[in-house]
Amino acid sequence: MDEIAKPSGKAGATQPWSLKIYNVFKEFHVRHVAYVPDSGHSELIRRAEGDQEMRALALTSEEEGVALLSGAWLGGERGALLMQSSGVGNCVNMLSLVKLCRIPFLTLVTMRGEWGEFNPWQAPMGAAAQRALELMDVHVLRASRLDEIEETVRAGAAMAFEGGAPVAVLLSQRVIGAKKFAGQETR
Amino acid sequence: MPHSGKLRRREVVARLVKDRGELIAISGLGSATYDLAAAGDCERNFYLWGAMGGAAMVGLGLALAQPGTPIVVFTGDGEALMGMGGFATIALARPPNLTICVLDNGLYGETGGQPSHTAGGASLAEIARGCGIPDCRTIATMAEVEELALKVGKIGAGATVAVVSIDDEELPRVLPSRDGVYLKTRIRSALGLAPP
């Protein structure tokens, strides 16, 4: 059996968007950062873990985050759900809660399967992510360049927390970068 | 007590929300929502009518946002099975003020009484324990319900999962409001939170 390659390029201070997003979270008093990890969110997750006023919480499945953040909002606190595009489909039924109760909802989705993706299994849900969100009337914004990320997340946070809307911000794979696996070129 | 000798679901729920004080109660879709409504509607109740698998996580979110307020979630075995991963997330979050009360009749009562996985041998208390929930218990008697009642309503050392073995009786439905916006605004108002 082939040795399984480990993802290379571990995020250090290599994700300039993470500080921008973190600052927007602070500005909007985001307390709960619920996530199913994605490497594109790893630095943001570490920032949240290091912040006394934030609670970073790992989920077993993305839909848990929709319910968790709805509960937090019932209790008066704001949160954001971090996931990759493959997790969007897992949320669809749970988004009923957000829609029926009109609960402010913000999710940041790192996109896979759309730009230099080596793993074809990421493509189907990557291609369907926006439509899956829109199926449940989640408003979708997209940041396709690094310099768009801060303003787009801020716009999404304002629509969610001030406007009361369900909002997803898609972070293009073109910005985040395609995942590289050591030795993938040999296979 | 019904002929099975098992606990009656509405007696269990009514006992646990009696003398509730500041207690917030969340109910999962189906019979748990009717049971909570039957115990008396209250502005500190939040009923789910859908979003299956979500009740325990709504409870966790509330527990984290309101750490000084005790939270109880009533759910059934069917919903708890769908949201099993949530036990691991609750264990990770370690809320001291959250009790999940699973009303386990071993069947899907809303949809024709098909046997659930707990009837086939799955133990939700063992699953929750294996996920790391500090206090997992099975309950089969009113004396054990009384013991649980001492804990519900208090801020404890960690989360509690109580799996209550109940009779499979079918009871008249007691239907609370299905208006999610109303229920949301009502519970937030009860917590002193203004509409945004």
Q: What is the pLDDT of residue B4?
A: 83
Please, is A107 exposed, middle or buried when counting C-beta atoms within 10 Å of its C-beta (0-12, 13-18, 19+)?
Answer: buried
Overall average pLDDT of the B120-124 stretch:
97
Chain B neighbors of A67, CB-CB under 8 A: 51, 53-58, 61
Q: What is the pLDDT of residues B19-33, one digit of tens each?
A: 999 999 999 999 999
Q: In which residue ranges of chain A is pLDDT below 70?
A: 1-13, 179-187
pLDDT of residue A2: 40
Nearest to A97 among B54, B60, B88 (CB): B54
Which value does ipTM take for this structure?
0.97
What is the band of B42 on the pLDDT scale with cuts at 50, 70, 90? very high
Could B193 and A63 be called an inter-chain contact, meaning their C-beta atoms sit closer than 8 Å? no
* Segment A58-109, tens digit of pLDDT: 999 999 999 999 999 999 999 999 999 999 999 999 999 999 999 999 999 9
Residue A102 has a pLDDT of: 97
Tell me how far CA of residue A83 lies from CA of A169, B16, B30, B118, in angstroms. Answer: 11, 37, 30, 31
Q: Per-residue confidence at B13, pLDDT binned at 50, 70, 90?
A: very high
Query: Which residues from A are below 8 Å from B58, CB to CB?
Result: 67-68, 70-71, 74, 97
Q: How far is B103 from chain A (nearest CA, A)?
A: 20
Is the pLDDT at B82 greater than 90? The verdict is yes
pLDDT higher for B153 or B152? B152
Looking at residue A58, its pLDDT comes to: 98
A184-to-A2, A6, A116, A118, B126 alpha-carbon distances in Å: 11, 10, 13, 9, 41
Q: Do A67 and B54 touch (CB under 8 A)?
A: yes
